[in-house]
Amino acid sequence: MATEGTGHGETERTTYSTTISGGVAGDPCGESLRLGQELRVVLVAVGGGAVRIGREIARKHLRHVETVAINCDPKVQGFEEYDRRVYLGPESGEEKDTGGSPYVGGVLARAAEPSLRNVFHGASFVVVVGSLGGGAGSGALPHLLELASRHAAVVSAFVIKPFRCEGDRRALAERAIGRLRLGEAFAEKRERGAATLEILDNEQLIPAYGGRAFSAVGQHWAEVIGDHLERAILAPAESLLESMKTAHILQELTSPIAVPTGVGLAEPFPAAPPRGPELPPPLPAAAVAEAELTFEIVSEARPPPTP
């Protein structure tokens, strides 16, 4: 059941380098935008860690970006920073979460699929952030990524890999990454260049943050993903839409005006009638009044006729 609310070490990375352009056949990014269409970017955070990262991004109120939090913990419904909150679990709330079981997370996501489609329907771009190692991230994320790949034009996935010291959670994350790559719709989109997968390994934060690495996870990855939204999606998409608008206006201004021709007429409009001799312009009203007054005065001064 889905309940929705409103409001340095071992690394494995796929570098994101999508360029948004338009007018090229087969270009998924350009095809995702149409003149007059509202740009809609959906940021979906799945799993407890991802929801915390997504909250940092949601607080920036990025233009065109709709934020969605999805988790198997009913507490997700209280995160008001998000535009939409989706709780995967029983309406009674008797079970707090998946108990860390990816299997349970997957079952809940499949059961909620009819409702979850609405999250991605009509989106130009979808950015999915998933924290691996738990029930929601490792279990529900693969199903959500498949849904996004079926309903959105362009999909970017960022998955957070636990620290090495989180042994069992890191092992679960490794298996979940393998399932992500096997998803049919997502794999097909990646082959066409319309989807990307980037693995953000928490272990990379240790050299920079040392003992503060655990507390720096949310802010650090929020900056990375927020920069991706601005640089790789929002700015290029806005520029493309503006250029499409300008080209459309220029085309309208330079296109010949089509004049409809009436049935049986050899010309678009009937010929003007021949002009006659020029007539003198009419007298001004003041001159006419003065002439009448003069006539009356002269008439009154004339002597009466002799009998």
**What string of DSSP letters covers the chain?**
-EEEEE----------------S-TT-HHHHT--TTPPP-EEEEEESHHHHHHHHHHHTT--TTEEEEEEESSGGGGG-TTSSEEEEES-TT--S-S-TT-HHHHHHHHHHTHHHHHHHHTT-SEEEEEEE-SSHIIIIIHHHHHHHHHHH-SEEEEEEEEPPTTSHHHHHHHHHHHHHHHH-HHHHHHHHTTSEEEEEEEGGGGHHHHGGGHHHHHHHHHHHHHHHHIIIIIIHHHHHHHHHHHHHHHHHHHHSPPPPP--TT-SSSSPPPPPP-PPPPPPPPHHHHHHHHHHHHHHHHHSPPPP-
Give a yes or no: residue 140 inside a domain: yes
Lowest mean pLDDT among 158-162, 206-210, 303-307: 303-307
Is 70 exceeded by the pLDDT of residue 59?
yes
Give a yes or no: residue 279 inside a domain: no
Is 80 exceeded by the pLDDT of residue 235?
yes
What is the per-residue pLDDT for 307?
A: 55
pLDDT digits (tens, 9 = 90+) for 92-127: 555 555 667 888 888 888 888 888 888 888 888 999
pTM of whole model > 0.75?
no
Give a yes or no: residue 306 inside a domain: no
Residues 19-43, mean pLDDT to the nearest whole number: 52
Give a yes or no: residue 100 inside a domain: yes
Give a yes or no: residue 89 inside a domain: yes
Give a yes or no: residue 307 inside a domain: no
Average pLDDT, the chain: 76
* pLDDT band at residue 157 using 50, 70 and 90 as cut-offs: very high
Is 70 exceeded by the pLDDT of residue 135?
yes
What is the per-residue pLDDT for 276?
A: 54
What is the per-residue pLDDT for 33?
A: 47
What is the per-residue pLDDT for 10?
A: 35
Provide the domain limits for residue 193.
2-7+41-240
Give a yes or no: residue 295 inside a domain: no
Is 80 exceeded by the pLDDT of residue 206?
yes
How many structural domains are present in the chain?
1
Give a yes or no: residue 74 inside a domain: yes
What is the per-residue pLDDT for 118?
A: 85
pLDDT digits (tens, 9 = 90+) for 258-280: 545 554 444 454 555 555 555 55
pLDDT digits (tens, 9 = 90+) for 282-291: 556 655 555 4
What is the per-residue pLDDT for 1?
A: 58
The CATH code of the domain that includes 110 is 3.40.50.1440
Residues 199-214, mean pLDDT to the nearest whole number: 93
